[in-house]
């Protein structure tokens, strides 16, 4: 009776774990998709325009996913190399999530993904929200400038279309789409029809995702074609009067993909050339610096939510703009700090002066205090939840406990051997091509690892020869021990980030490991139940033979 109760209890625990893991994993995905900035409901208001522009127009060429190392290769991108020699260049740094929609939002609002209120991940076209925060296009339109966008159709949803005068959008991502994008933009440039023009070239990103990754020949071929398109754009410009920016929204991992915190996806090229620019090689910059820098060149207001600073060292700005910039910076950063403080429900700390870093440090301090306050009770709960199974395992330890722990470790070794070594996958969101593919891969890999570890333990321990009850109990113990090891990264994520994404974007590495472990926990729990039944069946069939052998002895 006691044995049946143990088996029934184990089955119920596995059922509960499978259900919890499923709803937690889907909830974590959904909460990241639904994330909105603390500034969403009360964005800071735009200030006055800086005044006189330093250029006739700014042409912003965004080569999607272009890695910094590819951009430095003069054999692949000779046009970009010439522009770099003529203008100001630097290495640009971004922050995760390194998906395109967050990257576009940072580039155009000057705010990091947590504050920009753009999507935190790439949403379907129908679900993409329009910017709630001030942005380059809205600022340009308020200043009476004509604006134009030619590129992927996500920009149609992100940028307020009331702030766009000329546009061409395409759902295509390959070389054919890029040809159409540039063909649409060239007449605008030839006719000097707009003072802020965004041209989005997408085929490098397409090659990374669909043609073999960033180390494939197709990647460099796409980059070379993008460089040729860039040359066509440059041919329409007079760089004594016009300013050209070339950058990207993120990089890609070698295998193709982005979205996580891998170093290679968080570094981008930055080349600014033409009117108002002091040529030279400059120290590293932050992606949030790009929007206010372009605003200063155009003489518009600084984007109201920007967390970056105008790169004055590389600019030759009119005296009027230089004179207005300190007060404008202080006013913009003060308003941003007040809006963020209000969103967090605290009083804004006193910060004075024009040092953007000081205001951003105050915002970071408010954030850190709130996170620490919320994190402390979660840490305590996670420790308790993590210790309970360990204490129970210690108190209930039997001679077979080592077998189950060994099987759980074998599961981990097999799973990660295939994941990291055989398939070369990365432990970050950059490795997720789609939710369906990710889930299918983890379920398949986890299922294979579970069956192998179960087979090894059943044969090595001899549990199948001890009867159906012993075989079932042993299988349940193996599944529960394996589940416990999977719960450790899940609880770590819970302690750091909370169960799902709420007021802050999570630390990406623990969040990814929790997501991977949650999906693996589903297959371990469900598979453990199936293997429990199989173990009992196999043990039952082998029982008569064992009995006959015992009788003959």
Interval 79-137: pLDDT, tens: 999 999 999 999 999 999 999 999 999 999 999 999 999 999 999 999 999 999 999 99
Q: Does 110 lie in the same domain as 255?
A: yes
Pairing mode, strands 196-201 and 57-63: parallel
CA 110 to chain centre: 17
Percent of the chain surpassing pLDDT 70: 96
Q: Does 228 lie in the same domain as 296?
A: yes
Inform me whether the pLDDT recorded for 551 exceeds 50: no
Inform me whether the pLDDT recorded for 546 exceeds 60: no
Kindly report the pTM of this predicted structure: 0.93
pLDDT attached to residue 75: 98
- Domain membership of residue 283 (yes or no) is yes
Q: Is 63 helix (H, G, I), strand (E, B) or coil?
A: strand
**Which of 273, 301, 317 represents a domain boundary (last residue)?**
317
- Say which range, 25-39, 200-214, 385-399, 500-514, has the weakest mean pLDDT: 385-399
- Domain membership of residue 439 (yes or no) is yes
Instruction: State how many domains the chain has.
Output: 3
pLDDT attached to residue 3: 65
Residue 488: asked if its preceding bond is cis (omega within 30°), the reply is no
What whole-number distance in Å separates Cα of residue 223 and Cα of residue 75?
10
pLDDT attached to residue 182: 99
Inform me whether the pLDDT recorded for 478 exceeds 50: yes
What whole-number distance in Å separates Cα of residue 166 and Cα of residue 184?
10
522-543 mean pLDDT: 90
Give residue 10's pLDDT band: very low, low, confident or very high (50, 70, 90).
Answer: confident
Give residue 549's pLDDT band: very low, low, confident or very high (50, 70, 90).
Answer: very low
Which pairs with CB-CB distance under 8 Å and at least 24 residues apart come from 358-363? 359/333, 359/334, 360/307, 360/333, 362/337, 363/307, 363/336, 363/337
Phi-psi region of 61 (alpha: psi -120 to 50; beta: other; left: phi over 0): beta
Mind spelling out the 3-state secondary structure of 170-210? ECCCCHHHHHHHHHHHHHHHHCCCCCEEEEEECHHHHHHHH
More confident of the two residues 107 and 539: 107
DSSP character at residue 277: B
Give residue 229's pLDDT band: very low, low, confident or very high (50, 70, 90).
Answer: very high
Q: Does 416 lie in the same domain as 540?
A: yes
457-471 mean pLDDT: 88
pLDDT attached to residue 552: 29
Q: How far is CA 321 from CA 52, 297, 386, 389, 435, in A?
A: 6, 9, 58, 64, 48
Return phi, psi of residue 200, to 5°.
-110, 120
pLDDT in tens, 199-223: 999 999 999 999 999 999 999 999 9
pLDDT in tens, 268-320: 999 999 999 999 999 999 999 999 999 999 999 999 999 999 999 999 999 99
Average model confidence (pLDDT) across the chain: 94
Tokens of 197: 């023009």
Cβ count within 10 A of residue 387? 10
What whole-number distance in Å separates Cα of residue 136 and Cα of residue 140?
6
- Domain membership of residue 302 (yes or no) is yes
Domain span holding position 497: 2-34+397-547
Q: Does 284 lie in the same domain as 236?
A: yes
Q: Does 324 lie in the same domain as 308?
A: no
**Which of 317, 334, 358 represents a domain boundary (last residue)?**
317
Give residue 5's pLDDT band: very low, low, confident or very high (50, 70, 90).
Answer: confident
């Amino acid at each position: 009776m006691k044995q049946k109760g143990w088996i029934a209890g184990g089955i119920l625990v596995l059922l509960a774990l499978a259900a919890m893991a499923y709803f937690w994993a889907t909830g974590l995905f959904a909460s990241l998709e639904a994330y909105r900035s603390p500034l969403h409901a009360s964005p800071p208001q735009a200030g006055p325009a800086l005044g006189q522009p330093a250029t006739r127009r700014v042409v912003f060429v965004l080569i999607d996913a272009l890695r910094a190392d590819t951009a430095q290769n003069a054999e692949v991108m000779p046009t970009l190399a010439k522009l770099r020699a003529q203008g100001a260049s630097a290495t640009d740094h971004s922050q995760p999530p390194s998906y395109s929609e967050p990257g576009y939002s940072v580039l155009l609002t000057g705010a990091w993904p947590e504050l920009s209120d753009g999507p935190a991940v790439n949403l379907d076209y129908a679900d993409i929200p329009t910017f709630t925060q001030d942005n380059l296009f809205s600022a340009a339109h308020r200043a009476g400038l004509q604006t134009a966008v030619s590129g992927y159709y996500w920009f149609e949803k992100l940028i307020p279309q009331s702030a766009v005068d000329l546009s061409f959008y395409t759902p295509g991502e390959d070389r054919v789409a890029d040809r159409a994008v540039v063909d649409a933009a060239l007449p605008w440039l030839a006719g000097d029809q707009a003072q802020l023009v965004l041209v989005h070239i997408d085929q490098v990103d397409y090659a990374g995702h669909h043609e073999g990754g960033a180390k494939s020949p197709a990647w460099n071929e796409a980059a070379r074609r993008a460089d040729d398109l860039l040359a066509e754009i440059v041919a329409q410009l007079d760089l004594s009067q016009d300013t050209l920016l070339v950058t990207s929204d993120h990089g890609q991992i070698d295998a193709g993909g982005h979205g996580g915190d891998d170093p290679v996806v968080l570094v981008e090229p930055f080349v600014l050339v033409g009117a108002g620019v002091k040529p030279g090689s400059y120290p590293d910059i932050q992606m949030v610096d790009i929007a206010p820098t372009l605003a200063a060149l155009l003489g518009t207001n600084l984007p109201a939510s920007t967390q970056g600073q105008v790169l004055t060292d590389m600019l030759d700005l009119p005296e009027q703009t230089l004179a207005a910039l300190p007060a404008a910076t202080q006013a913009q950063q003060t308003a941003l700090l007040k809006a963020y403080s209000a969103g967090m429900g605290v009083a804004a700390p006193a910060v004075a002066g024009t040092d953007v870093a000081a205001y951003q440090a105050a915002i970071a301090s408010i954030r850190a205090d709130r996170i620490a306050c919320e994190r402390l009770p979660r840490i305590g709960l996670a420790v308790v939840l993590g210790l309970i199974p360990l204490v129970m395992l210690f108190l209930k330890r039997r001679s077979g406990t080592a077998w189950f722990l060994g099987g759980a470790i074998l599961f981990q070794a097999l799973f990660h051997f295939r994941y990291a070594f055989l398939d070369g996958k990365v432990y970050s969101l950059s490795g997720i091509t789609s939710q369906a593919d990710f889930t299918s891969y983890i379920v398949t890999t986890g299922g294979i690892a579970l069956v192998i570890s179960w087979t090894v333990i059943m044969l090595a321990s001899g549990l199948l020869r001890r009867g159906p009850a012993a075989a079932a109990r042993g299988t349940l113990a193996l599944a529960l021990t394996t589940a416990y090891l999977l719960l450790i990264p899940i609880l770590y994520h819970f302690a750091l980030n909370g169960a799902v994404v709420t007021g802050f974007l999570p630390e990406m590495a623990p969040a990814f490991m929790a997501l991977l472990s949650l999906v693996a926990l589903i297959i371990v729990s469900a598979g453990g139940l199936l293997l429990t039944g199989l173990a009992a069946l196999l043990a039952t069939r082998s029982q008569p033979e064992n009995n006959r052998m015992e009788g003959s002895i």
